[in-house]
Amino acid sequence: MVRVGIVGGTGYTGVELLRLLATHPEAEVVCITSRAESGRRVDDLYPNLRGHYDLAFSEPDVATLAACDVVFFATPHNVAMNMVPELLAAGARIVDLSADYRIHDAALWSQWYGEPHASPEVLPQAVYGLPEVNREAIASATLVACPGCYPTSVQLGLIPLLAKGLVDPQHLIASSASGVSGAGRQGKVDNIFPEVADSFKAYGVAGHRHLPEIEQGLGDAAGEAVRLTFVPHLLPMIRGIHSTLFATLRAPAGDLQALYEEWYADEPFVDVLPQGVFPQTRTVKGANRCQLGIQIPQDRDTVVVMAAIDNLVKGASGQAVQNMNIMLGLPEEMGLQQVGLLP
Amino acid sequence: MVRVGIVGGTGYTGVELLRLLATHPEAEVVCITSRAESGRRVDDLYPNLRGHYDLAFSEPDVATLAACDVVFFATPHNVAMNMVPELLAAGARIVDLSADYRIHDAALWSQWYGEPHASPEVLPQAVYGLPEVNREAIASATLVACPGCYPTSVQLGLIPLLAKGLVDPQHLIASSASGVSGAGRQGKVDNIFPEVADSFKAYGVAGHRHLPEIEQGLGDAAGEAVRLTFVPHLLPMIRGIHSTLFATLRAPAGDLQALYEEWYADEPFVDVLPQGVFPQTRTVKGANRCQLGIQIPQDRDTVVVMAAIDNLVKGASGQAVQNMNIMLGLPEEMGLQQVGLLP
Amino acid sequence: MVRVGIVGGTGYTGVELLRLLATHPEAEVVCITSRAESGRRVDDLYPNLRGHYDLAFSEPDVATLAACDVVFFATPHNVAMNMVPELLAAGARIVDLSADYRIHDAALWSQWYGEPHASPEVLPQAVYGLPEVNREAIASATLVACPGCYPTSVQLGLIPLLAKGLVDPQHLIASSASGVSGAGRQGKVDNIFPEVADSFKAYGVAGHRHLPEIEQGLGDAAGEAVRLTFVPHLLPMIRGIHSTLFATLRAPAGDLQALYEEWYADEPFVDVLPQGVFPQTRTVKGANRCQLGIQIPQDRDTVVVMAAIDNLVKGASGQAVQNMNIMLGLPEEMGLQQVGLLP
Amino acid sequence: MVRVGIVGGTGYTGVELLRLLATHPEAEVVCITSRAESGRRVDDLYPNLRGHYDLAFSEPDVATLAACDVVFFATPHNVAMNMVPELLAAGARIVDLSADYRIHDAALWSQWYGEPHASPEVLPQAVYGLPEVNREAIASATLVACPGCYPTSVQLGLIPLLAKGLVDPQHLIASSASGVSGAGRQGKVDNIFPEVADSFKAYGVAGHRHLPEIEQGLGDAAGEAVRLTFVPHLLPMIRGIHSTLFATLRAPAGDLQALYEEWYADEPFVDVLPQGVFPQTRTVKGANRCQLGIQIPQDRDTVVVMAAIDNLVKGASGQAVQNMNIMLGLPEEMGLQQVGLLP
């Protein structure tokens, strides 16, 4: 059995890791930390876990964590980058769900997060954990930076077009929408039910922190710098991200449906829907899966790609477990066979 | 008092007309028709109307309707175009909330609606009922075709940019989202709660019937044909439309915020939000209002305009009452002072 | 025009007062206080109010408030009871939406609210503001304590049975459910969208602060002490309270439908639905109305009464305006003709 | 591997059976019937199943079904009672999720369902499939009638009190609430999103078909006839049932918390929450689990029991799989370890 440690387990990515790992045949969570809830049973905070765990939150302790086979950081940004160097030195392998190691360039990171990066010396060894792009590097990595939720959906949707050079990389558009769990488990007025239920809005239009991460990944695929106009929206629902992606074709496209089906043919967690079928967030709810649809409306020169994921699964904790499986040489799909909860 | 008739009052635009007209100081609904519910009290079908109306649905009758000062059609498409010629001949003035007279070109209409237009001879006298564009023509019209819900939001959002020639008219993008009431009050499996709650999806990507209507209006504003990629989405909420609009600037823009504020300065029902504030559907719920926000992310060459309306009010019945006020010489804001229901 | 002051206007009952008073023909809000938001425009915090108010929050000031014709307290408990004595001394007339003056017995109040009452000397002049019970006393009151939201629904539902002595007053049951806006506009984790959406639970089962208020009102109607088992539940929606009330008939009931219709025949804001029709919260959304349904299942000895209100309107701000109208000799229905927003 | 057939797989209990059986280590669905969708792939109708099944709907065929080890009926009432006799004769073992065999008395069934029972001769061999009551009989049954969703929650909540004779069996009250998926996947206006979202109502107050089933089960537990006032309500959410149960104590109760914990100590799917903790539907979403809470408010003589289940899992398909496991001698928990999807 793989011994798993989780740092910062009280948030939604933490409880989702616990949900997924509860039925993982080779993983055992031996340690979950929280300063605020230290001593409290996890199933007291999250009664859905009753009967699945006999575990309490504990104070973070390097020695205990380093003794694990893998350590997940399910923390806000600014935690991992302070603890990871010591854990790496102690021999730990780490999957970081936060933003701390996603951006290769420390200066760019600082510009968007408003503070210096605490461990830029570690950045070169951080592997960006999008398995569909970096599977081999992940297998041998000691530190994996899990992609953000929006970036997962946008990159999986646009990479085939950019890698093939089919679209103008200077005028990419992502109109994305997320459920409220993406904002985390924080007691802010902006997130209380009466403020977000029964409504829809754009936010972060002037600049969202996921923008540089997405442009970095898309640029790698395109082999040149790209420009994306990224507008996230808030949906009145708990889980799910849907990205509607627009790009201008450089020339009459060939069979894009076939391109996508071929590109993702061997990917266990990317599902290209049949021609004319478009993804819905409800068909991937609770599942580690990205569903994609492709359309060229009116046969003009704009292609539309739609991508749906569960932000807490393929957009966070599921992808983290997928990375763990790859790092530890386990079958990539192990413990990730949950069927989307529909209806 | 203005004597009002309503054809097809059992749907959501019908009950919304009744809600708005119940407190309109100069209007009295004297007749509301429904073949299916003939004889049933309106407040039996819609208990929110108890105490506000002493009225029952009746079979449609041309003489009765023609005796009204104004007749609203709150019907699916394909009803008005069959009844309107006779009503016009009988001297009625008509506000049609359906799609029948929105498109000037009968052939184009037929192409999108899949059947011949029943009264193309009437099309030339139909005035497109977007008051912010056609106020004078509406005042003297006998037949007003109320815009669709999506078209209202997209046109109000993009017209200033196009009229000023600031953006490329060949690569316009509208990523719009609507509450489920936009699909009407029909017992289809696709619209039952467990199929649409807690989810988000695009639909009609290959081509939605509102596309030609929008391109017609935008083309009129631009003075040339335009091309719009229009992707509607379904939101897990009852009311509200939000359109996120993208356009490529032809040159560095001046002060677009000032442009929009000036453009709509005298419009009672278009509200340009302060710089950096973006619209939410909840702030216009139940109100006859379009709220707009403008942003140029990262100061690049793509402008983003956001527009929010209540699809049943400014996107349908409220706009219809606004048109009625204009047609009858009443103050345009009369009976339309409802404050958005927030929270 | 009536000059209105509002203390504590940033919460949901505050913005709801502003919504209702915006279209009240005889009221003008001249002052709205908030220490936290002092100086901020009300339509900046609540963009649904744009165009309806040219008003900013101010620091509370006794002289300014006392110069108003009526002062509303839209505050949490423990604010009014400290400010009211001074305002009364200065000649103000007050409508308190908080819990401070609802319970006649200061000791009982202290037991449930966990602190001494700050102005027990004022309690005797406080009139309980349920117009259907206390209309005359309200007319001449200087201080009206508006009922809580749950208490309004439970009392309107059970009073006819108790006043007529038809049911056992020792085994009353209220299974009530409220939308989340009832918890106020506070940034608590328990109220964020992912914690309450898509779920249903009971809370406060061991004892909710509305229990003594309800038992006080029901006891007054019954002419003897009553015992109520009151279980509130939290609904995944913003607005609305629904109470399902159970009582044991002392003898075979006569025509309870007729009893209720007669009892409330002259009440403008209580609507007894026809036999076999049951209330829904959606038919009273945004309206100052309580809808009631009555049923004796299987003709046994248990009667079921169902009551629906909008917790922010008939359960709070609407009832407050109704009380204001009565106090100031205005028509009781003035400014309260909003039709429920359906769908 | 157990060969499984499903009759009527297009509804919500059908897709939920497919979701649960997809990860059941010993079950293989070999046949799923639907007259309406015959020939269509199941993952075309339900895209959440893509990659989990290579299966299409087929016309029902007795020989094919009889060759299965177990046949589930996931049909509306009135289907199973016509097909089951022939299947039993052919040697099949059957788990019926519909109402056809739940009530022992054919006359009582006819009274509530408004038609004669088609196979009353089979009723004596039908075992009521509530494992917590009938585990042994289920093990050897050829025909198991799965309980209804409401009846599961009400019986698990009240049986300990009745079996111990602690409460008055003539005045039991169940105030229950269900998500909309309980109404099935049918295109009725009453169930479309705008009619049920954002609202709450009671229905079936005069008499709901689950009443006789519940009274039958409670009567068996009490050893005497019982009377229940059962009021179901409709919740604006997809999944989940919550029952709030009220009963009058015959004498001062001892430690009811201990009674419940002891009563259900060995039950894998009934979870008595700690004292003072009350169930939420969200903590059992997608899980085959009933969570219970017990309280005696104000230490009076009324006891309140709260029960939460997922109506499609412990209230239908999960319980059906649990019954299958028992019938076939598999571990009762096999394939039913899903953790509730929270948030």
Residues B209-238: what's their mean pLDDT? 98
Nearest-CA distance B199 → chain D (Å):
11
C-alpha dist (Å) from residue B214 to A240, C337, D320: 30, 37, 52
ipTM here:
0.97
Q: What is the mean pLDDT of chain C?
A: 97
Out of B48, B239, B341, whose CB is closest to C283? B48
For residue C9, name the pLDDT band (cuts at 50, 70, 90).
confident
Beta bridge partner(s), residue A231? A175
pLDDT of B3 strictly over 90: yes
C-alpha dist (Å) from residue A129 to A132, A146, B16, C258, D63: 9, 5, 51, 70, 51
pLDDT of C253 strictly over 90: no
Greater confidence (A4 vs B253) lies with A4
Residues C50, C38: Cα–Cα separation, whole Å: 18
**If interface means Cβ-Cβ distance under 8 Å, which residues of chain B face chain C?**
12, 15, 18-19, 22-23, 46-52, 181, 185, 198, 238-239, 271, 273, 277, 279-280, 282-287, 291, 337-343
Mutate to test the interface with D, among A17, A48, A313 (most CBs of D within 10 A): A48
The DSSP code for A250 is S
The residue among C63, C57, C55, C104 whose CA lies nearest residue C83 is C63
Residues A303-330: what's their mean pLDDT? 98
Contact residues, chain D, for B12 at CB < 8 Å: 194
For residue A253, name the pLDDT band (cuts at 50, 70, 90).
confident
Domains along chain C with CATH numbers: 2-148+314-327 (3.40.50.720), 149-311 (3.30.360.10)
Q: Is-contact A102 A128, C-beta < 8 A? A: yes
D336's tokens: 């039913």
C297's tokens: 């299942």
Out of B197, B236, B278, whose CB is closest to A203? B278
pLDDT digits (tens, 9 = 90+) for B83-98: 999 999 999 999 999 9
Partner-chain contact C280 D199, CB within 8 Å: yes
Contact residues, chain D, for C203 at CB < 8 Å: 278
Partner-chain contact D246 C173, CB within 8 Å: yes
**If interface means Cβ-Cβ distance under 8 Å, which residues of chain A face chain D?**
12, 15, 18-19, 22-23, 46-52, 181, 185, 198, 238-239, 271, 273, 277, 279-280, 282-287, 291, 337-343
Partner-chain contact B49 C339, CB within 8 Å: yes
pLDDT of B158 strictly over 90: yes
C16-49 burial string, b = 16+ CB within 10 Å, else e? Answer: bbbbbbbbbebbebbbbbbeebeeeebbebbbbb
Neighbour tally for C107: CB within 10 Å:
10
Out of D202, D207, D295, whose CB is closest to C306? D202
The residue among D104, D117, D151, D152 whose CA lies nearest residue D269 is D152
Contact residues, chain D, for C173 at CB < 8 Å: 173, 246, 302
The residue among A256, A306, A258 whose CA lies nearest residue A284 is A306
Report which residue type is found at A256: L
pLDDT of A6 strictly over 90: yes
3-state helix, strand, coil in chain A (%, to 5): 35, 20, 40
| Length reported for chain B | 343
Residues D86, B143: Cα–Cα separation, whole Å: 65
Nearest-CA distance B313 → chain A (Å):
15
Residues C232, C235, C241, C246, CA torsion sign: negative
Partner-chain contact D282 C198, CB within 8 Å: yes
The residue among B197, D21, D47, B201 whose CA lies nearest residue A283 is D47
A98's tokens: 């936060």
Helix (H) or strand (E) holding C202: strand C201-202
Residues A93-104: what's their mean pLDDT? 98
Q: What is the structure's pLDDT at A31?
A: 97
C-alpha dist (Å) from residue A237 to A180, A181, A266, B227, C157: 6, 8, 31, 33, 34
Q: What is the structure's pLDDT at B253?
A: 84
Partner-chain contact B193 D186, CB within 8 Å: no
Residues C106, C107, C110, C112, CA torsion sign: negative
**Closest chain D residue to B183 measured between Cα atoms?**
D194
Q: What is the structure's pLDDT at D99?
A: 97
Residue D55: CA atoms inside 13 Å, Cβ hemisphere, count?
25
Residues B38, B58: Cα–Cα separation, whole Å: 5
Nearest-CA distance C60 → chain B (Å):
24
Helix (H, G, I), strand (E, B) or coil at C320: helix
Beta bridge partner(s), residue A293? A306
Nearest-CA distance D187 → chain B (Å):
4
Partner-chain contact C278 D203, CB within 8 Å: yes
A313's tokens: 């699964």
Out of A12, A18, A287, whose CB is closest to D48? A287
Contact residues, chain A, for C180 at CB < 8 Å: 192-194, 197
Residues of B forming the active site: 149
Out of A50, A198, A340, whose CB is closest to D48? A340
D311's tokens: 């109506």
**Closest chain A residue to D182 measured between Cα atoms?**
A343
Residues A332, A326: Cα–Cα separation, whole Å: 6
Q: Which chains touch B (3 or more CB pairs under 8 A)?
A: A, C, D
**If interface means Cβ-Cβ distance under 8 Å, which residues of chain C face chain B?**
12, 15, 18-19, 22-23, 46-52, 181, 185, 198, 238-239, 271, 273, 277, 279-280, 282-287, 291, 337-343
Out of C47, C238, C277, whose CB is closest to B273? C47
3-state helix, strand, coil in chain C (%, to 5): 35, 20, 40
pLDDT digits (tens, 9 = 90+) for B296-322: 999 999 999 999 999 999 999 999 999
Residues A243, D321: Cα–Cα separation, whole Å: 37
A201-202 vs C172-178, strand pairing mode = unpaired
C317's tokens: 């701000």
- Kindly give the confidence (pLDDT) of every residue in chain D, 343 residues in length, as a single tens digit, with 9 standing for 90 and above: 999 999 998 999 999 999 999 999 999 999 999 999 999 999 999 999 999 999 999 999 999 999 999 999 999 999 999 999 999 999 999 999 999 999 999 999 999 999 999 999 999 999 999 999 999 999 999 999 999 999 999 999 999 999 999 999 999 999 999 999 999 999 999 999 999 999 999 999 999 999 999 999 999 999 999 999 999 999 999 999 999 999 999 999 899 999 999 999 999 999 999 999 999 999 999 999 999 999 999 999 999 999 999 999 999 999 999 999 999 999 999 999 999 999 9
Out of B173, B236, B278, whose CB is closest to A236? B236
**Closest chain A residue to C181 measured between Cα atoms?**
A194
Q: Is-contact C304 D229, C-beta < 8 A? A: yes
Contact residues, chain B, for C276 at CB < 8 Å: none
Nearest-CA distance C234 → chain A (Å):
12
D14-23 burial string, b = 16+ CB within 10 Å, else e? Answer: bbbbbbbbbb
**Closest chain A residue to C185 measured between Cα atoms?**
A189
Out of B12, B179, B197, whose CB is closest to D238? B197
Contact residues, chain B, for C48 at CB < 8 Å: 282-285, 287, 339-342
Neighbour tally for C263: CB within 10 Å:
19
Q: Reading across the β-sheet that carries C70-73, which strands appear in turn?
A: C27-33, C2-7, C70-73, C94-96, C143-145, C126-128
Nearest-CA distance A284 → chain D (Å):
6
B106's tokens: 């009968």
Q: What is the structure's pLDDT at A316?
A: 98
Q: Is-contact B93 B114, C-beta < 8 A? A: no
From the list D31, D68, D146, D149, the catalytic residue is D149
pLDDT of A9 strictly over 90: no
